[in-house]
Amino acid sequence: MDNLRESARKAAAAFVLQGEVIDASRYGSGHINDTFLLLCRDGEKEFKYILQRMNHDVFKDIEGLIHNVKGVTTFLRRQIIENHGDPDRETLNLLPTKEGLDYYRDEDGNYWRMYLFIAGASCYDQVKRPEDFYQSARAFGRFQCLLADFPAGDLNETIPNFHNTPIRFQTFEEAVARDKMGRVSEVEKEIQFVREREKEMGLALAMQKDGLLPLRVSHNDTKLNNIMIDDATGEALCIIDLDTIMPGFSIFDYGDSIRFGANTAQEDEVDLSKVSLSLPLFEVYTKGFLEGCEGRLTKEELDMLPYGAKMMTLECGMRFLTDYLQGDTYFHISREKQNLDRCHTQFALVADMEKKWEEMLQIVDKYRG
């Protein structure tokens, strides 16, 4: 820990900052990158910055990742200025190194980046009230709105095939065929559940290929704690954690939010009677998301929003099941069969969505404008 703090202070010296670094302390609750809050002082004035050591084991192409972040945040900054917003608070802002680069590579091969600190705002790990979910929805909808004209095809795939559901299905079938842990016989019903829905998995990609579903800037990690909430107003302020920014579909960002935010149960709930899609929360999020989008989604995207919710839930359940079959090597577990319980929860939610499909369509129609 002390060695890492010292490395952070050394890395900070490579960037263009105001004042002298007084302190570098651990910051936030992220598990992938190492994040530090820097306190700098110049006479009587204090300045704060966010310094991150990027995890190059998870993200193999750091230059491609920084290219994405720089491109998107620069575009967002221009849009926010045009809308008379505060570009220093409403988007992340990368700071250059003294050599004019957007990241620094230290002598040990670690990659570092620096952001302006966003004061007067906080992140929350859990949805405590519907208003939080609504603010999350508005924020990610506005994110789509502001980036509607960004050339998504110029972005790098920092995690290839991240939401390529047919590829995920292939990996799943390989795990079934190999049966590394001898667990296939106990999950035959779960395997059948996946296979019965195979034909739906490639629909979004087929529509995109036919020009019916536009490629968008996709955040791919639309959790509440990736939004900064203004401490004074309680309103969503800024989308953060842009490492998984990639070309993708708006319906998948929307759908992943529904998957975890509108579920009435915990992700690894063992009592499946507690698992259901909360239609009130589905409506809250849909209302906020479409308000934030300000009419920038196409008719086909609006039509496909419920599909996005179902597909992200099915894909996630399939990934949990795949990991269970492979020996729990990807998702961290704290107890036996936790990944299988996670799989069961996702599949139960898919089944409940299918029962409530008409209601979901009606709610989208209510707010599509």
Per-residue pLDDT of the chain (369 residues; tens, 9 = 90+): 468 888 999 999 999 999 999 999 998 767 689 999 999 999 999 999 999 999 998 888 999 999 999 999 999 999 999 999 999 999 999 999 999 999 999 999 999 999 999 999 988 877 778 888 999 999 999 999 999 999 999 999 988 898 999 999 999 999 999 999 999 999 999 999 999 999 999 999 999 999 999 999 999 999 888 999 999 998 999 999 999 999 999 999 999 999 989 999 999 999 999 999 999 999 999 999 999 999 999 999 999 999 999 999 999 999 999 999 999 998 989 999 999 999 999 999 999 999 999 999 999 999 997
In the chain, the number of structural domains is 2
Give bridge partners of residue 182 from the DSSP assignment: none
Q: 170 and 243, same structural domain?
A: yes
Spatial separation of the C-alpha atoms in residues 368 and 29, rounded to whole Å:
35
Residue with tokens 């509607």: 148
Q: 143 and 84, same structural domain?
A: no
**Does residue 182 come out as left (phi exceeding 0), alpha (psi in the -120 to 50 range) or beta?**
left
Its domain, for residue 114, covers 2-119
Spatial separation of the C-alpha atoms in residues 101 and 70, rounded to whole Å:
11
Q: 193 and 89, same structural domain?
A: no
Residue 125 belongs to a domain: no
Q: How far is CA 41 from CA 11, 17, 78, 291, in A?
A: 17, 10, 29, 41
85, 119, 153 — which closes off a domain? 119
pTM: 0.91
Q: 81 and 135, same structural domain?
A: no
Helices (H), 160-234: 165-178, 188-195, 203-209
